[in-house]
Amino acid sequence: MFGLHAMGLCFGVNSTSHHTKKHFHLDRLLNTAKPIYLNHSSKVLILSDLHMGNGGRLDEFRQNSELVKAMLEKYYLPEKYSLVLNGDIEELFKFSLESIVSEWKDFYDLFLEFEKNGFFWKTWGNHDAALLDMREYRLASSLVESVKFHYEDETILLFHGHQAALVLWQTCSILSRAVIFFLRYFAKPLGIRNFSVAYNSRQRFAIEQLIYEFSNQSKIVSIIGHTHRPLFESLSKADFLNYRIEELCRSYRAGDSEKRSAIKQTIIELKIELDNCYKKGKISGLRSGIYNNITIPSVFNSGCTIGKRGITAIEIEGSTIRLVYWYNGKQNRKFISERDNRPMELGLTGFSRIVLNEDSLDYVFSRLHLLA
Ligand SMILES: [Mn+2]
């Protein structure tokens, strides 16, 4: 009764603002988020969708567990990063918390160590929301529904993203509700693998688009997980290279001879990369915004850690935001960088990191304010 009344009240209030009631759940996340103040020396790693299990055949985390451990222990911890785990860290649809904790005990110690670098927060997702009722849970004091970073006057909201599905659920057909119901209650006992990626691409797109609309209206940046699709909306590689070349051409005449020959060399390299974009076509960098004709970078997704060949993650370092890819250096890597193709090797671990995409937060927010 109280719940209904409260919702009715909120909808009433919202209808007078330019937020529609469609964004009710997302507005609530923004209002109740744990506030964190970032400054120009802050470093934050955001990971999501580990889907940790019991270490057995159906455990989707198992294949990348060594990679995740190495990058946390040997890179992000010593590099003084804080940590946000952005939902679906434990796979509680398939496994008991006891079996997960006993298999991956070391990781719980490791996560908590990030507190000494600044902070460690963990948002809950749909697969680990049951943690809220588990009193003995080791990371209970770090568990929140959403986190908001205050960066100068701007806001970056971190939440898992399944909350948007609540909105879509209310508007979806009886047939698709039946399919979701089937997956939720029957696929699990049957042990269907990859159940966690039950969304098809249309549903993923709908979730992203709803959060995108909300972020543009609220003039905030959202960082989500849930759809398992890494997302970093920025200029296409071709546009980026063209602008860089433009810039260099304009500065050429003002330089001395040393500067000029450096510019000349850089332009040769950029031209080769640009030619490659056009040769390989759409997939390798002609694509611009996927929701609009013009790119508004208001939604980022850290992707997931259950990929076959590696994992993606989001880094915030001072005024820069990046999408990075970690992989076993011996294997072919899955992604081509939109910016800088050179991998960084992590000591002798055999693992490497590559920056898939990177932009300054000032630029991201300028586009959001000027174009959305
Ligand atoms: Mn999820």
Residues 335-355 have pLDDT tens digits of 777 777 788 999 989 999 999
Distance from residue 129's CA to the centre of ligand 1 (Å):
10
Encoded tokens for 68: 């995740």
Q: State the pLDDT at residue 39.
A: 93
Least confident interval from 124-138, 158-172, 214-228, 247-261:
158-172
pLDDT at 198: 45
> Separation of 197 CA from ligand 1 center, angstroms?
9
Q: Are 356 and 335 in contact (CB under 8 A)?
A: yes
The CA 130 to ligand 1 mean position distance, Å, reads 13
Cα 124 to ligand 1 centre (Å): 9
Q: Count H helices, E strands: the chain?
A: 12, 14
Res 17: pLDDT: 43
- Ligand 1 centroid–CA 212 distance in Å is 17
Q: What is the pLDDT of residue 15?
A: 35
**Distance between Cα 47 and ligand 1 center (Å):** 13
Query: Would you state the pLDDT for residue 197?
Result: 46
Instruction: Assess whether pLDDT exceeds 90 at residue 263.
Output: yes
Q: Which of 174-188, 253-267, 268-282 has the lowest mean pLDDT?
A: 174-188
Q: Is the pLDDT at 64 greater than 60, yes or no?
A: yes
In the reported structure, the alpha carbon of residue 165 is separated from the centroid of ligand 1 by a whole-number distance in angstroms of 10
Taking the alpha carbons at both ends of the chain, their separation in whole angstroms is 38
Residue 45 Cα to ligand 1 midpoint, Å, equals: 19
Provide the pLDDT for residue 337.
74
- C-alpha dihedral, 190 to 86 to 333 to 199, nearest 10°: 40
Q: How far is the CA of 48 from the centre of ligand 1 (A)?
A: 9
Lowest mean pLDDT among 63-77, 105-119, 298-312, 327-341: 327-341
Quote the ligand 1 centre to 245 CA distance (angstroms). 41
Write the pLDDT tens digit of every residue in 272-312.
888 887 776 554 455 555 666 677 889 999 998 888 788 99
Cα 330 to middle of ligand 1, angstroms: 30
Distance from Cα 269 to the centre of ligand 1, integer Å: 41
pTM, 2 dp: 0.81
In the chain, DSSP assigns E strands to 34-38, 43-47, 82-86, 120-123, 143-144, 146-151, 154-159, 221-224, 231-232, 299-301, 310-317, 320-328, 344-345, 351-360
**Span from the CA of 50 to the centroid of ligand 1 (angstroms):** 10
Q: pLDDT band for position 9 (50/70/90)?
A: very low
